[in-house]
C-alpha cells in the first residue's frame, strides 16, 4: 500500500501532473496491455497507435495521448516496441506490487473469480475463499482452499490481507460486510447488487454489473 | 432497440440536452436504484439526497444534480418519494424495455451471470446458455437451458437475439467472437480478458474486471 502511494507520488512529481491518472485512462491502459500480451504471444515486435485504436474502435490520437502519460521510451520507426510499452504500463499501474485478497462467497461467481488467472499477472493474489456452507468448506478452487467464514479474522491478520472480494448472495451482503468491517478488512470489492453501508474508513468498490450493462445498452444506438 | 433510441431522443428533446446521460451518471443512477429497492423492502417512504450520498460516500450536491436529470416530480418536504424516484430512474434508463440475450460459455462465470436475477428486473432477459462441452449441453442453470453452440445461429434468428454475453475461456474468445459475428450477433458483452477483433458493425463492451480492480487499487491511497 505504501509502495503504491509512493508510486503515485513519483508519477505526479516526475511528470509535473497535478492529479493522478483518471479511471478512464487506467481502464484503457489495461486494454492496451491485453492487446500487447496477445502481440507478444504472436511474436510481433512493434505496434502502432493506429493498430491499438482499430481494435478498440477509438481514435488513435487518444491512444497516443494515453501512452504519452507513461514513461515509455520504446518508440521505433515502425511503432512502439511491444515489450517495452507493456512494461511501461505495468510500471505505471503498479502491476508488480502484489495485493493479497480473499474471496468471500464460494458460489459460481466466487469460483469464477478464483479461476481468473489473469488477476495474478496483474498483481492481485487471491489467497483463499470463505463460505459458510459446510459442503464447500475444505474443498479448493484453482488450488485455493475454501475456509469456514469464522476463520477469516484470524487468517486475515496472519496473512496481512485487508482486501475482500465479496460474492455472497444479495440477502447476506450487508451482514457479511458488517462482519468484514469487524474483521479489520479495509477494502471491499463488492460484486453483490447491493449498496453496502460501511464506516468511512472502509472503502467499497461497487462492481456494478447491471450499471455497466445499462451504460452499454443505453449507448447502443448512439 | 428502436424504442430505446426513441427514449433517448425524448430525453434529449424534453430536457433540451445536447447529449445523452453520461456513463458515470448512468452508473450512479443504478446504484441509487439499488438503494431505493432496499428502502422499499424496508417500507421506507422518503429518502434525502444526503442519505443516498452517505451510503455511496459521495457529495449530496452530486446526487441532487443527477436526480435533476430525471423527470422526477416526487419531492416531498422530507425528501424524495422513494417509489416515484425509483420509477423515474427506471423510465429514464429504459429498464422496462426488455433486451434479450444469450450467454456463451456455461462455466462458473456464465452460470453466475445466469443466476444473477437482478438482470431480469433491469430489463435484461437471458434466454439460454451455449457451450461446446457435451457434459453441459441439455442441463440447465436457473431454468435456462444449455444448448450446443452450433444451435446458436438458428436460435438467435428465431428468438430475435442480437446480444451475447461472452464468458468462454480466454483462448477460445476470438474464435468464438468470429462465430458470433457470422451468426449476426451485433452486441458482445465481453467478460474474457481479451480484446476482440470484430468488424465495425459489431459493438463490443469490454467488462474489464482487471481494469476495474486496478482503478480501485490505484486510488486506494488517494
Q: What interface predicted TM-score (ipTM) does this complex get? A: 0.80
| Chain-chain contact of A211 with B27 (C-beta, under 8 angstroms) | yes
Mean pLDDT score across all residues of chain B: 86
Backbone angles phi, psi at A129, to 5 degrees: -115, 160
Whole-number percent of chain B with pLDDT over 90 = 61
Residue ranges of chain A whose pLDDT lies below 70: 1-19, 73-74, 76, 219-222
Three-state DSSP at A194 gives: coil
From the list B55, B196, B214, the residue facing A30 with the nearest CB is B214
User: What is the distance between the alpha carbons of residues B44 and B25, in angstroms, rounded to a whole number?
Assistant: 24
Report the phi/psi class of residue A164: left, alpha or beta, with left for phi > 0 and alpha for psi in -120 to 50: beta
pTM: 0.82
Most confident region among A72-76, A77-81, B38-42, B156-160 by mean pLDDT:
B156-160
CATH number at B2-93: 1.10.10.10
| Chain-chain contact of B187 with A220 (C-beta, under 8 angstroms) | yes
Task: Please report residues of A whose CB lies closer than 8 A to that of B113.
Answer: 209
Transcribe B13-76 into DSSP letters: HHHT-SSPPPHHHHHHHHHHHHHHHHHHHTT--EE-HHHHHHHHTS-HHHHHHHHHTS----EE
Confidence category of residue B211, pLDDT binned at 50, 70, 90: confident
Shortest distance between the Cα of A51 and any Cα of chain B, in A, equals 11
Quick: pLDDT tens for B173-201: 999 999 999 999 999 999 998 899 999 99
- pLDDT of residue B58 exceeding 80, the answer is yes
Quick: pLDDT tens for B70-115: 877 667 678 899 999 999 998 888 777 789 999 999 999 999 999 9
| Chain-chain contact of A210 with B124 (C-beta, under 8 angstroms) | yes
Confidence category of residue B8, pLDDT binned at 50, 70, 90: very low
Task: Please report residues of A whose CB lies closer than 8 A to that of B11.
Answer: none
Report domain extents, chain B.
2-93, 99-211
B1-10, B47-56, B122-131: least confidently modelled range: B1-10
Q: What pLDDT was estimated at residue B76?
A: 67
Q: Which of B37, B36, B208, B55 is nearest to A202 (CA)?
A: B55
| Cα Rg of chain B (Å, integer) | 20
- pLDDT of residue B172 exceeding 80, the answer is yes
Task: Please report residues of B whose CB lies closer than 8 A to that of A116.
Answer: 193, 209
Tell me the CA distances in angstroms from A140 to A54, A106, A110, A137, one per residue in order: 41, 9, 12, 8
Three-state DSSP at A22 gives: coil
Q: Are B49 and B63 a contacting pair, CB within 8 Å?
A: yes
| Chain-chain contact of B211 with A26 (C-beta, under 8 angstroms) | yes
Q: How many CB pairs under 8 A join A and B?
A: 175
E strands, A132-173, are 140-141, 144-148, 163-166
Task: Please report residues of A whose CB lies closer than 8 A to that of B101.
Answer: none
Q: What pLDDT was estimated at residue B5?
A: 39
Q: For the residues B143-161, what does the mean pLDDT come to?
A: 97
CATH 1.25.40.10 fits B99-211, yes or no: no
Output the nine-digit C-alpha cell for B136. 453441459
Neighbours of A116 (CB within 10 A): 21
E strands, chain A, are 46-47, 75-76, 79-81, 99-104, 124-131, 140-141, 144-148, 163-166, 187-190, 203-206
The pairing of strands B163-166 and B187-190 is parallel
Quick: pLDDT tens for B130-147: 999 999 999 999 999 999
User: What is the distance between the alpha carbons of residues A73 and A127, in angstroms, rounded to a whole number?
Assistant: 36
Neighbours of B53 (CB within 10 A): 17
Q: Are A31 and B211 a contacting pair, CB within 8 Å?
A: yes
Q: For the residues B33-56, what does the mean pLDDT come to?
A: 92
| Chain-chain contact of A170 with B206 (C-beta, under 8 angstroms) | no
Amino acid at each position: 500500500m505504501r509502495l503504491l502511494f509512493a508510486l503515485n507520488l513519483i508519477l505526479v512529481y516526475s511528470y509535473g501532473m497535478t492529479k493522478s491518472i483518471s479511471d478512464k485512462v487506467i481502464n484503457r491502459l489495461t486494454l492496451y496491455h491485453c492487446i500487447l500480451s496477445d502481440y507478444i504471444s504472436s511474436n510481433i515486435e512493434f505496434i502502432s497507435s493506429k493498430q491499438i485504436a482499430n481494435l478498440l474502435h477509438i481514435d488513435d490520437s487518444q491512444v497516443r495521448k494515453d501512452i504519452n502519460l507513461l514513461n515509455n521510451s520504446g518508440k521505433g520507426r515502425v511503432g512502439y516496441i511491444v515489450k517495452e510499452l507493456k512494461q511501461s504500463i505495468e510500471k505505471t499501474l503498479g502491476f508488480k506490487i502484489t495485493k493479497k485478497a480473499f474471496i468471500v462467497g464460494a458460489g459460481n461467481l466466487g469460483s469464477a473469480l478464483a479461476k481468473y488467472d489473469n488477476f495474478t499477472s496483474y498483481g492481485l493474489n487471491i489467497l483463499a475463499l470463505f463460505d459458510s456452507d459446510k459442503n464447500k468448506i475444505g474443498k479448493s478452487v484453482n488450488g485455493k482452499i475454501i475456509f469456514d467464514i469464522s476463520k477469516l479474522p484470524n487468517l486475515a491478520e496472519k496473512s496481512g490481507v485487508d482486501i475482500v472480494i465479496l460474492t455472497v448472495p444479495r440477502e447476506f451482503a450487508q451482514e457479511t460486510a458488517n462482519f468484514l468491517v469487524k474483521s479489520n478488512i479495509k477494502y471491499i470489492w463488492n460484486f453483490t447488487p447491493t449498496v453496502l453501508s460501511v464506516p468511512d474508513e472502509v472503502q467499497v468498490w461497487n462492481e456494478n454489473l447491471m450499471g455497466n450493462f445499462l451504460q452499454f445498452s443505453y449507448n447502443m444506438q448512439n
